[in-house]
Amino acid sequence: MEETKHKRRAHYSGKYPRKFEEKYKEHDPEKYGETVNRVIEKGSTPAGMHIPIMVKEILDFLQIRPGQQGLDCTLGYGGHSRKMLEQLSGEGCLYGLDVDPIESEKTVERLRNAGYPESIFRFRRINFAEIDKVADEAGLFDFVLADLGVSSMQLDDPGRGFSYKNEGPLDLRLDPTRGLSAAETLHNISEEEFAGMMIENSDEPYAEEIARKVFSLMAKGEAMDTTSALCDAVAAALVRLPKDEREEAVKKSCARVFQALRIDVNNEFEVLYAFLEKLPVVLKSGGRVAILAFHSGEDRMVKRSFRELARAGVYAEVSPDVIRPSAEECRKNPRSRSTKMRWAVRA
């Protein structure tokens, strides 16, 4: 039998790795449990992984029983899926959907290694706007979960371009193999369209000033194809603000600009609208659905859909109010603070 050779990690300069591709713990966080627990206790999300949000509230509502069939519309890191699979106790089936070819492959491998074969966990690389196609294959579902947030692994990887905090290509696509990147999008729209996008998708108060500066720089031949280039343009657009408030204003505007572009690049509102329209069709009578939203526009869409369909008799019951994460969860996982959960029960 051939002896397996030990493979050393790539050498990096200094005491700690600086580049994301060299950060071995971020690429295999579950292997370093002690480090992960320390980071979480400090109120941070370990890079390379995602902490599932509002798990107790979700499980309390879904009331999953062995033998049922469920659907996780946004698999991500698989934290919610793993908890739902535990409730099934090896009986029944959970379908997981995701369009991200990079992270979904890692997640499926983790769940397989955790003891969940194809017979109980089935992954489909498909957008959750097409849940009707999944139901055509699987049949109706007893429970459905949709977590509309971007996963921490995507935010932390500079190569994906999701965060203004990290230098990388201005991409922002959940599926980088399809559609236009954020950089390409900027070169295919007008200044007025960009300003409108920022207002509609993220309520950016300086939308016109930022759009004017971005398009002025591009007209001069400056490339707007990296995260830092766009952040520099935002900072230049807000240079007239008082110095004592400028730094914080630039950070907030950068976050909103990236959010607006991400929503547009991935057609997030259109996808959510299609999902909400098809949702009742895939639920069994008495079937339960929980949705986590992180954007006021998304939450309004969910609220309106649930209430209108409840009045029409499609849903027997909907959450009377939005449900928020506990103060303790927000302390341990600050990324959960903006979460809004709503639920509905099929008539």
Measured between alpha carbons, how far is 302 from 284 in angstroms, rounded to an integer?
Answer: 19
The structure's pTM equals 0.85
Query: What is the DSSP secondary-structure string of 51-119?
Result: PPSSHHHHHHHH---TT-EEEES--TTSHHHHHHHHHHTTSSEEEEE---HHHHHHHHHHHHHTT--TT
Mean pLDDT within 94-108: 93
Q: Is 148 found in the same domain as 61?
A: yes
Q: Are 309 and 335 in contact (CB under 8 A)?
A: no
99, 91 contact by CB (below 8 A): no
- C-alpha 89/C-alpha 336 separation (Å) is 28
> Is 115 in the same domain as 65?
yes
| Shared domain check, 253 and 275 | no
Q: Give the confidence band of 86 by pLDDT, cuts at 50, 70, 90.
A: very high
Note whether residue 77 is domain-resident: yes
Instruction: List Cα–Cα distances, 39 to 26, 45, 330, in angstroms.
Output: 12, 7, 14
Shared domain for 261 and 290, answered yes or no, is: no
Query: Quick check: is 47 in a domain?
Result: no
Report yes or no on 23 lying in a domain: no
The answer to whether residue 40 is domain-embedded is: no
Q: Using the predicted structure, report yes or no on whether residue 10 has a pLDDT greater than 60.
A: no
* pLDDT given for residue 11 in this prediction: 55
Write the burial class of residue 69 (CB in 10 Å: 0-12 exposed, 13-18 middle, 19+ buried): middle
Q: Dihedral through CA 294, CA 298, CA 302, CA 304, nearest 10?
A: 130
The residues that bridge with 342 in the sheet, in sequence order, are: 291
Domains of the chain: total: 2
258/205 same-domain check: yes
Report the SS3 class of residue 291: strand
> What's 197's domain CATH number?
1.10.150
On average, the pLDDT of the chain sits at 88
Q: What is the CATH number of the domain that holds 287?
A: 3.40.50.150
Give the β-pairing of 121-124 and 141-147. unpaired
Tell me: do 299 and 216 sit in the same domain: no
Q: Give a yes or no: residue 106 inside a domain.
A: yes
Placement of tokens 């607006």 in the chain = 260
- Which range among 2-6, 68-72, 176-180, 266-270 shows the weakest confidence by mean pLDDT? 2-6
161: left (phi over 0), alpha (psi -120 to 50) or beta: left
How far is the C-alpha of 132 from the C-alpha of 138, rounded, in Å? 10
State the pLDDT at residue 205: 96
Domain boundary among 211, 231, 265: 265
The mean pLDDT value for 7-19 works out to 52
* Statement to judge: residues 87 and 214 lie in one domain: no
287-325 tens-digit pLDDT: 999 999 998 899 999 999 999 999 999 999 999 999 999
Count CB atoms within 10 A of the CB of residue 118: 10
**96 near 122, Cβ under 8 Å?**
yes
pLDDT digits (tens, 9 = 90+) for 139-191: 999 999 999 978 777 777 888 888 888 889 999 999 999 999 999 999 999 99
Asked, for residue 48, whether it belongs to a domain, the answer is no
Q: Is the model's pLDDT at 35 over the cut of 60? A: no
Q: pLDDT tier at 5 (50, 70, 90 boundaries)?
A: very low
Own/partner pairs, 158-163, CB within 8 angstroms, 24+ separation: 158/20, 158/227, 159/20, 160/102, 161/226, 161/227, 162/258, 162/262, 163/227, 163/258
Query: What is the dihedral angle through the alpha carbons of 175, 293, 157, 178, rounded to the nearest 10 degrees?
Result: 10
Q: Is residue 17 part of a domain?
A: no
Residues spanned by the domain of 228: 178-265
**End-of-domain residue from the set 218, 234, 265:** 265
Look at residue 30 in the predicted model and tell me its pLDDT: 58
Residues 126 and 64 in one domain: yes
Give the C-alpha separation, 153 to 26, whole Å: 9
User: Quick check: helix, strand or coil at residue 124?
Assistant: strand
Domain boundary among 265, 294, 316: 265
pLDDT at position 149 is 78
Pair (281, 147) in one structural domain: yes
* C-alpha–C-alpha distance, residues 187 and 193, integer Å: 11
**171 assigned to some structural domain:** no
